[in-house]
Chain A
């Protein structure tokens, strides 16, 4: 149980275009999902916390107008990288939890974004 599905697994786009990444909790409801970014050989850095039905909370230094997060339902959160630039190329990973006591976070498979 507790499967998190993330799509696409990889995407290549041109500078200036936008890319949408989906994160779904397949067998549980997640009121909160988290979006992380990981550059090569570095750790996972929290970008934002996605809350169902309300605005996302962004970490310091993350541009909310560039990384649009929508958490429209209890099983789906989307991250849209707008006007992508080569420096946005990274591994983006979402995570979610059922939120019950002692339930761990479960990660999606990640999305490798390459901006040319």
Chain B
């Protein structure tokens, strides 16, 4: 099955700086890679996703890049704000739509 690894586990940045979270996956058949933001005690919220036929996708301050050859993908948040503080999970899935999640990154944006 799929194995998704995520780094770093914790990340602190100054407000206005950029944050980058990296993930690798093992199953070359995986073709869908969503990123979720989870605040304490709440459900994961989809913030951006990318499919394997695309190398990069951007939505305002959030961007995701995918390198299929190397089997890694990254989340980039620019101009970070305190409300970006949360746990971020990368994930991957194949045709079965079962998501395998990374271990999560606790992002803290310092004012």
Contacting pair B98 A104 (CB below 8 A): no
If A97-B97, A104-B34 touch, whether A43 touches B103 (CB-CB below 8 Å) is yes
- Interface size for chain B: under 10, 10 to 19, 20 to 34, or 35 or more residues? 10 to 19
Q: Which of B12-20, B38-46, B66-74 contacts A (4 or more CB under 8 A)?
A: B38-46
Q: What interface size band does chain A fall in?
A: 20 to 34
- Interface bits A95-116 vs B (CB < 8 Å: 1, else 0): 1010100101111111010000
Residue of A nearest to B93 (CB): A105
| A43, A49, A106, most chain B CB atoms within 10 A | A43
Contacts of A34 in B (CB 8 A): 97-99
Tell me the dominant secondary structure on chain A's binding face.
Answer: strand
Interface of chain B, main secondary structure: loop
Q: Are A109 and B44 in contact (CB under 8 A)?
A: no
Contacts of A44 in B (CB 8 A): 44, 89, 99, 101
Cβ B43 vs Cβ A93 within 8 A: yes
- With A and B bound together, what is the CA distance between A95 and B98 in angstroms? 10
Q: How far is the CA of A95 from the CA of B43 in the complex (A)?
A: 10
In the complex, which residues of chain B have a beta carbon less than 8 angstroms from the beta carbon of A25? none
- Residues on A with C-beta less than 8 A from B89 are 43-44
Chain A residues close to B by CB (< 8 Å): 32, 34, 42-46, 49, 91, 93, 95, 97, 99, 102, 104-110, 112
10 A-B interface contacts by CB (under 8 A): A32-B97, A43-B104, A44-B89, A102-B51, A104-B34, A105-B99, A106-B46, A107-B45, A109-B43, A110-B42
